[in-house]
Structure 1
Amino acid sequence: MAKIVAVDTDFADNNLEAAMAQEAGVDFEATRGRTVEAVIRSLQETGAQGAVTSYALFPREVFEACPNLKVVSRTGVGYDEIDVEAATEHGVAVCNVPGYGTEVVSDHAITLVLSVLRRINELDADMRRGVWDYARTRPLGQCRGRTFGVVGMGEIGRATARKAAGLGFDVVCWSRSLKPGRRTPEGYPVLRLEELLQQADVVSLHTALTPETHHLIDAQRLALMKDSAVLVNTARGAVVDTVALAQALCEGKLWGAGLDVFEEEQPFDFSHPIMKAPHAVLSAHAAYWSEESGRELRQRAMQAAIDAVQGRVPVDCLNPGVFSR
């Protein structure tokens, strides 16, 4: 019987995955530990052909040490923890779950924007201290009359743009796949990144993390932004130089920030300078989750692993060519 192991998934339990495995006639086991050593140990000790994971590391060493492995299915859109090239060389399928969180992540991005502009966290803190005085938190911003810049126009970026436009923002965008000077099919002007940073009152990041986008927003690019601007990141933490961002906020060279992702999250450093930066609304990598999106995420990731170990090509496979070998 084929076996799938949940390797350090980001859920309270794996009952859903276990039930799906039982129905499909596949053995299943849940393990913990996201380091390379822990992953290798889990796969070798269980003899698993499939792995479902959230944040465990799958570099080349894992594929070299685990010849029985046929598939790694990640419960998310990004896959920077997995060496896809090495997996392909070893005949291992790599799957993800694109599109599952489009609406909820874009909801969260917009929520962070509004929270910073309207200073909701600061107003709430005053109320809980017994202070009734909105003037303490002025200035308070609004949507209409402001320019909203979307960096990265994949599914989530486009959904965020749609929602921002609906609120009254003037939307502009940048994407590596779009040519500046043109418009998107929705009618949004495409700018050069530097132009977008200079013009936008809100910059919302929705680009994948690659070597080219690591610290895409660094001190130099932060300096291009308006002192009154807001930066929001629901993409990947390392797209932003967070130390430089904290410094810009503390020095008043940027108005505010809304962050759901951070460069180091496991464990998170609560002494990081961003924790003391003014006008920053922070959430613990929660943008991807709603009860509805979470169930879809888990079902699709597990189904991909089941399909692969049973010899079928999963719907969301990054390297389907491994099945033709």
Structure 2
Amino acid sequence: MTTYLISDFPDVLASRELQVEIDALQQQDPTAIVTQYAYQNQAELLEKLEQTDILITAFLPIDAELLSQLTRLKGIAVNATGTSTIDLKAAAKHGITVQPLGDYSTEDVANHTLGLILALNQKLPAHTRQINAHIWQYEAVGAITRLGSQTLAILGFGRIGQAVAKRAKAFGMTVIAVDPYLPEAVAQKQGVSLVSLSEVFDKADIISLHLFAAADSPPLCDAAFFSQLKRQPLFINVARGCLVDEAALVAALDSGKIRGAGLDVLQSESPELRNSPFLGRDNVILTPHAGFYSQESMAYLQLKTVENAVDIAKGAKHV
């Protein structure tokens, strides 16, 4: 008998049909006992996990303190590609397997990235506001620069970064990338130059983040980062909210160091939007961590996560 807990923030659980996962778990593991918990606090989560063999989650804070108190938990099947909210060193220390998804939404995230770039560059939010005010003048939103004359800097040139580059080059853009872990030949094959961060500061008209990051890592994009930008680029983040110092980003928007921002992620997975400094701006587009989403990606996400969870329960070494 294996006890599985499907748990996440309430809005995350509400966004998908959990019965799909429950049915798949019970089909793949006839001994499965499946429970659900819409996260409220760490104390309640601990109480639930003390009775759990396998946790299925995407975004819950699984820190060292929590993990140190769990004697029964065997593993965590992450229904996302990232593990930034999980202390992986502590999990390994306590013999808890952590298995994220591999490639399941590369196409969707790359398309979402280009959607944000196109909407901001063509100033579609500003056009919409003007038309809602009954103003029918293309020049009312200010100057627009042709996309094909611009340089896109991709920070993190893995699967998603490479998919973004392919789409950007179809629009005639020059693409540069920063990735110290990637062989230069991989980038060269795609017509992309690997560069230093200082070159990004000098050359980028658009910056797009596609990096992994741990939740406790200092933000890469802080006040010092934004202060060095030379060309007032668009700034796109579909990666991890913890990569960006939001106060510094707001200051960069206010000062004109960047000309716009497309953000699919914020520092919080459940942000308080009522007083958000990003709202009410023509040059900012927020989406609710939706870049991965399509019917196809959701179906794969649910079923592959279940497969990973059952493999952990069975003691598989490679899941």
Distance 1:199 1:213, change over 3 A: farther
After superposition, what is the alpha-carbon deviation per residue over 1:248-305, rounded to whole angstroms, capped at 9, x for unaligned? 2112222111111111232334323233555111112111211111111111112111
Structure 1 residue 66 and structure 2 residue 65: aligned?
Answer: no
**2:59–2:269 CA contact under 8 A, matched in 1:** no
Structure 1 residue 283 and structure 2 residue 300: aligned?
Answer: no
Distance 1:208 1:22, change over 3 A: same
**2:85–2:215 CA contact under 8 A, matched in 1:** no
Within a 5 Å distance, the mapping from 1:24-103 to structure 2 comes to: 24=28, 25=30, 26-33=32-39, 35-44=41-50, 47-103=51-107
Cα distance between partner residues in 1 of 2:292 and 2:41: 23
Cα distance between partner residues in 2 of 1:53 and 1:182: 33
Pairwise CA distance, 1:314:
4.7
The equivalent of 1:160 in structure 2 is 164
The equivalent of 2:8 in structure 1 is 8
The equivalent of 1:135 in structure 2 is 139
User: How many pairs does the alignment contain?
Assistant: 313
**2:155–2:210 CA contact under 8 A, matched in 1:** yes
Cα distance between partner residues in 1 of 2:143 and 2:72: 60
Pairwise CA distance, 1:179:
7.2
Pairwise CA distance, 1:182:
9.9
Cα distance between partner residues in 1 of 2:230 and 2:210: 20
Within a 5 Å distance, the mapping from 1:239-318 to structure 2 comes to: 239-315=243-319
Cα distance between partner residues in 2 of 1:92 and 1:166: 44
Pairwise CA distance, 1:35:
3.4
The equivalent of 1:214 in structure 2 is 218
After superposition, what is the alpha-carbon deviation per residue over 1:176-211, rounded to whole angstroms, capped at 9, x for unaligned? 214789953323111101111210111111111147
**2:116–2:236 CA contact under 8 A, matched in 1:** yes
**2:152–2:205 CA contact under 8 A, matched in 1:** yes
**1:78–1:208 CA contact under 8 A, matched in 2:** yes
**2:153–2:175 CA contact under 8 A, matched in 1:** yes
Cα distance between partner residues in 1 of 2:277 and 2:199: 28
**2:126–2:282 CA contact under 8 A, matched in 1:** no
SS of the aligned residue for 2:4 comes to: strand
One of 216, 226, 229 as aligned partner of 1:225: 229
SS of the aligned residue for 1:149 comes to: strand
Cα distance between partner residues in 2 of 1:175 and 1:248: 24
**1:151–1:205 CA contact under 8 A, matched in 2:** yes
Greater shift in the superposed pair: 35-44 or 210-219: 210-219
SS of the aligned residue for 1:305 comes to: helix
Cα distance between partner residues in 2 of 1:180 and 1:192: 12
SS of the aligned residue for 1:204 comes to: strand
Cα distance between partner residues in 2 of 1:228 and 1:58: 37
Unpaired segments ≥5 residues, structure 1: 316-325
After superposition, what is the alpha-carbon deviation per residue over 1:23-47, rounded to whole angstroms, capped at 9, x for unaligned? 1212211111163222211122xx2
Aligned-pair Cα RMSD in Å: 2.2
Cα distance between partner residues in 2 of 1:211 and 1:192: 24
Alignment identity in percent?
Answer: 26
Distance 1:231 1:181, change over 3 A: farther
Greater shift in the superposed pair: 5-14 or 238-247: 5-14
**Counterpart residue identity of residue 100, structure 1:** Y
Cα distance between partner residues in 1 of 2:165 and 2:146: 16
After superposition, what is the alpha-carbon deviation per residue over 1:145-195, rounded to whole angstroms, capped at 9, x for unaligned? 111111101111111111111111011111121478995332311110111
After superposition, what is the alpha-carbon deviation per residue over 1:210-235, rounded to whole angstroms, capped at 9, x for unaligned? 47963211222212223431111111
**1:173–1:189 CA contact under 8 A, matched in 2:** yes
The equivalent of 2:128 in structure 1 is 124
Cα distance between partner residues in 1 of 2:185 and 2:308: 40
Structure 1 residue 169 and structure 2 residue 192: aligned?
Answer: no
Structure 1 residue 109 and structure 2 residue 123: aligned?
Answer: no
**2:205–2:231 CA contact under 8 A, matched in 1:** no
**2:260–2:284 CA contact under 8 A, matched in 1:** yes
**Counterpart residue identity of residue 192, structure 1:** S
The equivalent of 1:320 in structure 2 is none
